[in-house]
Structure 1
Amino acid sequence: MKLPLIRGFWQLFKGYWSSAEKWKARGLLASVIVLNLVMVYLLVRINDWYRNFYDALQAYDWASFWPLVGTFTGLALLYIVIAVYAVYLRQMLTINWRTWMTEEYLARWMRGQVYYRLQVLRSDTDNPDQRISEDINQFVTLTLTLLVGALKQLTTLGAFAVVLWNLSGALTVPIGSETFTIYGYMFWLSLLYAGVGSVLVHLVGRKLIRLNFDQQRYEADFRFNMMRVRENSESIAFYRGEMAETQGFKERFANVIKNYWGLMRRTKLLNFYVNGYGQLAIIFPLIMAAPRYYAGEIALGGLMQTISAFGRVQDALSFFVDSYSSIAELSAVIQRLSGFTAHINEAAAVPPMIVHEDDAEDALRLSDLHVALPHGAELFAVSALTLPQGSRALVTGESGVGKSTLLRAVAGIWFAGSGTVTMPEGSSRLFLPPHPYLPLGTLRRALSYPCTAAVSDTEMARVLAQVGLPHLAPRLSDTDDWSRILSLGEQQRLAFARILLIRPDWIFLDEATSALDEPRERALYELLRQELPASGIISVGHRSTLYALHETELRIHDHTIISREIPHEP
């Protein structure tokens, strides 16, 4: 791994192991490591068994045959039990680590409306949902698999290197008139074999890192495009946009297939190399040890033990070769998660230039407020504006002047600009966008969102009847995609029912009645006046009929908010 990847890995890795769960995590990891060490010890015992067993075969020692088979059976059964629990405890650690990381990232993504800021800032983070749901899982699984595997192979190397050194004896090599003696030559050959193999596998497979990174991105883009069609199916159907959407599908899927072909070709080359490397490792130690066997320096048992020990050492030294595909995948995951983490940190670090304060005065006040676009261009400004509790204000102006952004600034989710927004201390607020958000789940949950406190079905049925949706009352327990089932007009009336349930002190309506006819719009505003006479209402809209339902007009014109009283006929 390159230095940036190592830094990125450490930043992702260290959090869990220094968290409140660190001792539980370290205990599980220690247990997994101990079990793997015991497995290595058992492999050494089995390696010794090879010598005894094949020596007995060579000597036709029938009396030793069944006792040796019994010894192997006991060692094998113990090895199986320990291997199973080593994997089980590692999976337990994987679940705990993934749970911690997922909760941590969800908290950071949701805290301070970072999820919203990432979109406003047009961050190049693609598919945050996939980063949290899939990449964290891959990071944890691959890291533990490679970490435990590397520790096991290092232990194996340490144990069998000694065995192989002792079994190798000395090899005398004549060079000219001189002879050189190489002690433990089989060990040095295994080092040379694995070292050359590791260098070559990196040259063959290094392009897999970028290919794996791109494959995840293209797959996510393709899936997200289909999700967009599902969420906007009615609009697409009205437009008869099937051909355009299909073309979009094909373009994104073409990227998936093109990159996958590249991944296949590079993986094919890597598999050729890895399989060739593995097959050569079978015959290589036999060829190297055969001269000592035929010279009578070692018996058949010693030959088989040497071959087995060489295989264990070579496996340990070849861990990088065998795991290269996983390492390449982990590198791609680290890049994606590190990028996502950096974008979250950048979005969270953007200072809120618009100050929000609470005050004992029962009024909404804007003081020296300047609202700008993210790139710095100013939308509008107001030096001082006061709206007393219970005000009915209508925000007007041409499209694009920043009417909705004014509500965002008052809500505290818009960060570009300066000035102060002061709200009455302890006042509750509710903002309704043009397209109400209806979460998946029961209609009861959609109606009471974002509140989590229990509300009686009787009260819910009452407010549904008030907004003209009495037929939905029997379906409060039904679970469905309500944004698909209900028309936009019904969704907007459901949002007004939320207002009646939550009973906020300040209500902000952004084109919240755009899908309703004018009589229904007037009826809903009158309902709010009757049910919540002390609540302030600030609306954004274009209809001229809205003037009769408000007392004050806040017109955004020439980058300035102009306030005036709306005259009403007696």
Structure 2
Amino acid sequence: MALQSRLRPAMDELKMHALSYGARGFVAYRQNHAAIQRFLRIGYIAFILGSTYRGLTAAGRKKKPKQPQAKTAGLDASEKGPTPGEEAASSAKQAQQQVVEADEGGRGGRGGRKGRKSRAPRVEVDAVFFERLKRILRIVVPGIRSKEAGLILLHTVFLVLRTMLSLYVADLDGRIVSALVRSQTRQFIVGILWWMAVAIPATYTNSMIEFLQSKLALCYRTRLTRRVHDAYLSDMTFYKLGNLDDRIKNADQLITVDVAKFSKSLADIYSNFAKPILDVCLYNYKLSQRVGAESLIGINLLVQGSAALLKALTPPFGQYAATEQQLEGEFRFNHSRLIENAEEVALYRGQAAEQNVIERAYFSLIKHVNRVYKIRILHSMTEEGIIKWLWGSLGLCICAVPVFVRIPGAGGKGLDMGSRTESFVTNRRLLLSSSDAFGRVMYSYKEISELAGYTARVSELLDTMDEIKAGRFQKKLVSSASVEENAKVLQGRGTIEEDRADDAGVEFRDVPIVSPNGDILVKKLSFYVKPGQHLLIIGPNGCGKSSLFRILGGLWPVYGGKVHKPPTSEFTYIPQRPYLSLGTLRDQIIYPHTVSEMRARGKTDEDLLDILKVVQIEHIVAREGGWDVQREWRDALSGGDKQRIAMARLFYHRPKFAILDECTSAVTLEIEKIMYDHATKIGITMLTVSHRPSLWKYHSYVLQYDGQGGYVFTELDAEKRLALQEEKQALEQKLLQVPKWKERLEALKAAKEERLSRPSSPVHEIKGLTLTA
């Protein structure tokens, strides 16, 4: 008690000092209220913008884990050993190449594989996403003077205009309700008239925003599609992407669907993210003038906390969107594959097996979509509970502030019922608009995550095509590729020299023939063919005959040695099943030239008709209805007609070399002779793959594979080879009779032994049997 009595004067003095400081602080606050309010408003807007920026880039500042080195064999064997700088660049590249694949664990993947534990890399709003998006933005918006930049600027003007109209409507709404409460008929009618007048610019603004948003999406898609087409349809990337690389399984779906979805998502994200941020800043600034910045900041701190909780509970919808697109692509690919191979499947009666494959792909997609829908239930409940109900109750508290607390310059206690109603309605309208804008900011995080998924898909396509153009491939190799000797071959790189001289021939010098899956077909191939020396290539299936042509055509890389040849444009390839394009009958002859290019070469329809006369198919022009008729030519023409069209195409282009792959299998020997004789006459050197002996007499050399990695290149003496072939066939026929004669001999021996075992048998019968035997 003594101690308490001694401390009481000190405590009373401390209280008096506190009250004095508090009173002076309150007086200073009242005197500088306007300046403090301005400081708080500016600080609050800076806080909103800063928190939004940090929310977007927080993941990007996280240290990325080191990516494990890919186990698929890279076919770019020109790199003998990476330098430290190259290793760093490779690591950065691997960090960006997040190939979105479906998680097939527990549900089975392609081929019915179950229990797969490998999971696809997550697609997040991180530094990789922003780097990818920055690269694509430079494609879709090439400069500030571009059409897209002008549309973005105009779009921004209308977005700001809509916000200003919303502020005006909020104030007008309060005045109309105030006039209604006060029974002021004239003010009420004037307010309604102004309300109807505002509808004209408001509806026009909203319509223009939707129009410009759609227009931007279309412009983005056009720019991006042109960029993709330029890369995809040049340097034979469309072939290499599907045959020499495993990273892109469904390029058609990426180009047609994912590019469109990315463009729409990118156009939507500007309106759905930038506009709500602007609304939040303007609405809250206006609201702080009416209810005070202090109460607004206090409640918004609670909102920010709940928003952070909501963001932490938001599932990775970007990953889900990317996985769904990948599964959609697989489902579509299976249908495209069935259409492409419909005839073979029908002949094999394989519809049940194909249905199983297609339905497995479909149900994998449906299972993933259903899983996402179930996840969205709980997320939507949490989202609505926080955004709608919690933030709604906090909004009512803000609207009640000027009613229960007098705020300098904003009115409050002591106002009449009409003024309080006007203040409440206006504040309520501003708060609802601000809450809606902040909610759209939160929703936009999910939309940005989905944009990250589409960005990953499009960026993967662009990156893969760039690497393919640079000669860097990634493909899963066959088991033989793991052999040390094979791996050494794959690490090498040969050279291809193109000679434009008229007498340039085809020379292979110690060139290994390697398939795209890494299987070495021939270790070292060497031969030389001059112009005019036709080459016949024979051998069993899978020995490397077609691989040789793909190297000459620039489709496959060279892993060693040296190839000396004319330019690729001097080669024309005619397969067993010729390709017929969409277009007119004329287009089939001059493909890939256009009519203008044909005219520039000095060719006319009469010249084309003369070419058709060579292969005895000139009647097709009148039969089909003229040069300009358009049909689905692969269905309208027979197999023989297609091969003759391909021959006519060869004679139109007149290349130095023609690669012929069983291209006369559906025509008569007479047409075959006409084709080879005419090709020789006009100076075309033919490289032919065929087992037909009738073609031997048209060739000077033969390249014969043995199917075990060996080969023979020698001159072809057609008469001698035909004689040997006939002798061989005769011997084979005789050898086929050997088992039959052996069986007859055994039967006669058995009959002889049976007769000898009988004592009563006449001697002459035995002798006769012996003589017969």
* TM-score exceeds 0.5: yes
Which residue of structure 2 lines up, in the alignment, with residue 350 of structure 1?
Answer: 471
Structure 1 residue 423 corresponds to structure 2 residue 565? yes
Partner of 2:660: 509
Distance 1:290 1:52, change over 3 A: same
Matched, 1:537 2:537: no
Correspondence 1:313 to 2:313: no
Is 1:263 matched with 2:372?
yes
Q: How does 1:221-260 map to 2 (within 5 A)?
A: 221-260=330-369
3-state SS, counterpart of residue 112 of structure 1 = coil
Contact kept in structure 2, 1:369 and 1:417, CA below 8 Å? no
**What amino acid is the match of 1:501?**
Y
Q: Does the 8 A contact of 1:354 with 1:369 survive in 2?
A: no
Residues 505 and 190 (structure 1), Cα distance of their counterparts in 2 relative to 1, 3 Å cut = same
Paired positions, count = 553
Contact 2:217–2:266 (8 Å) recurs in 1: no
Partner Cα distance (1:354, 1:435) in 2: 31
Q: What is aligned with 2:712?
A: 562
State how far apart, in whole Å, the 1-side matches of 2:501 and 2:654 are: 20
Equivalences for 1:109-148 in 2 at 5 Å?
109-148=232-271
- 1:354-394: CA deviation from partner (whole Å, max 9, x where unpaired): 31311425131315241342465543366753322222110
Q: Contact 1:447 / 1:494 at 8 angstroms: preserved in 2?
A: yes
Does the 8 A contact of 1:201 with 1:270 survive in 2?
no
Partners of 1:167 and 1:149 lie apart in 2 by 27
Partner of 1:196: 306
The offset of 1:99, in angstroms, is: 0.9
**Residue type of the alignment partner of 1:355:** I
- Counterpart of 1:268, as a letter, is I
**Shift of residue 520 of structure 1?**
4.5
Structure 2 distance, partners of 1:426, 1:327, is 45
Residues 370-449 of structure 1: pairs in structure 2 closer than 5 A: 370-373=511-514, 374=516, 378-380=520-522, 385-424=527-566, 428-449=570-591
Corresponding letter in the other structure for 2:713:
S
Q: Spell out, residue by residue over 1:253-297, the C-alpha distance to the aligned partner (whole angstroms, 9 max, x if none).
A: 111211121122223333334444454245542355346536763
Q: Tell me the equivalent position of 1:329.
A: 450
Q: State which drifts further: 4-13 or 518-527.
A: 518-527
2:643 to 492, 495, 508: 492
Write the deviation string for residues 488-523 of structure 1: whole angstroms up to 9, x where unpaired. Answer: 443222211211222222111122234445555344
Residues 278-297 of structure 1 correspond to what in structure 2 (within 5 A)?
278-280=387-389, 281-282=391-392, 284-290=394-400, 292-293=402-403, 297=413
Counterpart selection for 1:212 from 316, 321, 328:
321
Closer, same or farther in 2 for the Cα pair 1:266/1:486, shift >3 Å? Answer: farther
For the 8 Å contact 2:507–2:565, the answer to whether it is kept is no
Give the 3 Å change call, closer, same or farther, for CA 213–265 of structure 1 in structure 2: same
Deviations 1:55-108 (A, max 9, x none): 222222112112112222222321221222233233333222211110001111
Does structure 2 conserve the Cα–Cα contact (< 8 Å) formed by 1:186 and 1:310?
A: no
Does the CA contact (< 8 Å) of 1:190 and 1:313 recur in 2?
no
After TM superposition, the structure 1 stretch with the greater mean CA deviation from structure 2, 325-334 or 554-563, is 554-563
1:62-77 alignment, distance < 5 Å: 62-77=185-200
Structure 1 counterpart of 2:431, one-letter code: F
Instruction: Tell me the alpha carbon deviations over residues 109-165 of structure 1, each in whole angstroms, 9 at most, x when there is no partner.
Output: 122212222223232212111211221222121112112332212221221111111
How large is the Cα RMSD of the aligned pairs?
2.8
* Structure 1 residues 390 and 415: alpha-carbon distance in aligned structure 2, compared to 1, 3 A threshold: same
Confirm or deny that 1:472 pairs with 2:614: no
Partners of 1:320 and 1:425 in 2: CA distance: 57
Instruction: Find the residue that maps to 2:499 and give its secondary structure.
Output: strand
Name which of 506, 513, 536 aligns with 1:365: 506
| Matched-pair contact (CA < 8 Å) for 1:198–1:321 | no
Alignment partner of 1:539: what SS? strand
Residues of 2 paired with 1:384 and 1:258: CA distance? 55
Which residue is 1:174 aligned to? none
Cα separation, 1, equivalents of 2:239 and 2:384: 48
Counterpart for residue 460 of structure 2: 339
Separation in 1, partners of 2:285, 2:427? 11
Give the unaligned 5+ runs of structure 1.
170-182
Structure showing greater radius of gyration is 2
Q: CA deviation at 1:235?
A: 1.7
- Alpha-carbon distance in 2 for matches of 1:270, 1:481: 51
**Partner of residue 15 from structure 1, selected from 132, 135, 139:** 139
Query: What does residue 521 of structure 1 align with?
Result: 672
Normalising by structure 1, what TM-score? 0.88
Q: Does 1:35 align with 2:177?
A: no
The answer to whether the 8 A contact 1:508-1:538 is kept is yes
286-295 or 135-144: which moved more? 286-295
SS in 1 for 2:718: coil
SS class of match (2:216): helix
Mapped partners of 2:235, 2:254: distance in 1 = 19
Any idea what SS the aligned residue of 1:537 has?
strand
Letter in 2 for 1:46: V
Counterpart of 1:186?
A: 296
Residue 161 of structure 1 pairs with residue 302 of structure 2: no
Shift of the 378–386 alpha-carbon distance from structure 1 to 2, 3 Å rule, reads same
What is the CA-CA distance between 1:425 and the residue it aligns to? Answer: 7.3
Deviates more, 1:260-269 or 1:304-313: 260-269
Q: Distance in 1 between matches of 2:308 and 2:666?
A: 65
Question: What CA distance in whole angstroms lies between the structure 2 residues aligned with 1:320 and 1:155?
Answer: 10
Q: Which residues of 2 match residues 456-467 of structure 1 at below 5 A?
A: 456-467=604-615
Which structure 2 residue ranges, 5 or more long, are not aligned? 1-124, 406-411, 473-492, 721-773
Stretch of structure 1 that moved more, 465-474 or 38-47: 465-474
Amino acid at match of 2:403: Y
Amino acid of the residue matched to residue 553 of structure 1? V
In 1: Cα distance, 2:569 partner to 2:592 partner = 16
2:128 is matched with 4
Question: How many angstroms apart in 2 are the aligned matches of 1:329 and 1:479?
Answer: 43
Instruction: Compute the displacement of 1:22 (Å).
Output: 4.8
**Contact 1:139-1:334 at 8 Å conserved across structures:** yes
Equivalent residues of 1:168, 1:187 under 8 A apart: no
Query: 1:60 corresponds to which residue?
Result: 183
- Could you say if the C-alpha distance between residues 383 and 397 of structure 1 is closer, same or farther in structure 2, counting changes exceeding 3 Å? closer
- 1:179 equivalent in structure 2: none
Q: Tell me the residue number matched to 2:747.
A: none
Residue 176 of structure 1 is matched in structure 2 by none
Secondary structure of the residue aligned to 2:334 is helix
Tell me how far 1:539 sits from its aligned partner: 0.7
SS of 1:418's partner is coil
- Say whether the 8 Å CA contact 2:276–2:437 is kept in structure 1: yes
* C-alpha distance 245-521 of structure 1, shift in aligned 2 (>3 A): farther
Q: Is the 8 A contact 2:583 2:630 kept in 1?
A: yes
In structure 2, the partner of 1:173 is: none
Q: Give the equivalent residue in structure 2 for 1:172.
A: none
Offset of 1:167 from its aligned partner? 1.8
Q: Note if contact 1:364-1:421 (Cα within 8 Å) is conserved in structure 2.
A: no
Report if aligned partners of 2:509, 2:563 keep a CA contact under 8 Å in 1.
no
Specify the code of the residue in structure 1 equivalent to 2:700: E
Matched residue SS, 1:184? helix
Task: Report the Cα distance in structure 2 between the residues aligned to 1:81 and 1:449, rounded to whole angstroms.
Answer: 50
Instruction: Assess, with a 3 A threshold, how the Cα gap between structure 1 residues 28 and 191 changes in structure 2: closer, same or farther.
Output: farther
